[in-house]
Amino acid sequence: MAGRARFVALGVALASLAGIVYGRNRRRRGHVDLYFEDGSMISLAGDSPEARLLFPHAADALRAVR
Amino acid sequence: MATAEQALAELTELSTQVHAATIFDQDGKVAASTLVGGRGDWLAASAKALLDAAETVRGEGETAVVQLEAAMPEGSVFVVREGVRVVAAVTDREPTAGLVFYDLKRCLQSVSAEKPKRKRTAAKTGTSGRPR
pLDDT one-digit tens code per residue, B17-27 = 999 999 999 89
Give the end-to-end CA distance of chain A in Å, rounded to a whole number. Answer: 59
What integer pLDDT is reported at residue B115 of this predicted model? 53
Confidence band, pLDDT 50/70/90 cuts, at residue B123:
very low
Query: Which residue in B has a C-alpha nearest to residue A36's C-alpha?
Result: B65
Give me the numbers of helices (H) and strands (E) for chain A, helices first please.
2, 2
The DSSP output letter for B93 is: S
What integer pLDDT is reported at residue B37 of this predicted model? 84
Q: What is the pTM of this model?
A: 0.78
pLDDT digits 0-9 by tens, A9-66 = 889 888 988 887 777 777 677 999 999 999 999 999 999 999 999 999 999 999 999 8
CA proximity to A46, closest of A27, A18, A60, A22: A27
Phi, psi of B115 (to 5 degrees): -85, 140
Better pLDDT: A21 or B120: A21
Cβ-nearest to B70 among A40, A54, A64: A54
CA dist A50 → A31, B12, B90, B114, B120 (Å): 10, 31, 21, 37, 51
Q: What integer is the mean pLDDT of B83-89?
A: 94
- ipTM for the predicted complex comes to 0.80
Output the CA torsion sign for B76, B91, B56, A53: negative
Q: Which of A1-5, B44-48, B83-87 has the lowest mean pLDDT?
A: A1-5
Q: What share of chain A is helix, strand, coil (3-state, %, to 5)?
A: 70, 15, 15
Q: Do B66 and A36 touch (CB under 8 A)?
A: yes
Residue type, B72: M
- A11 vs A25: CA distance, rounded Å: 21
Residues from chain A contacting residue B64 (CB–CB below 8 Å): 36-37
Confidence band, pLDDT 50/70/90 cuts, at residue B128:
very low
Q: Does residue B129 carry a pLDDT above 60?
A: no
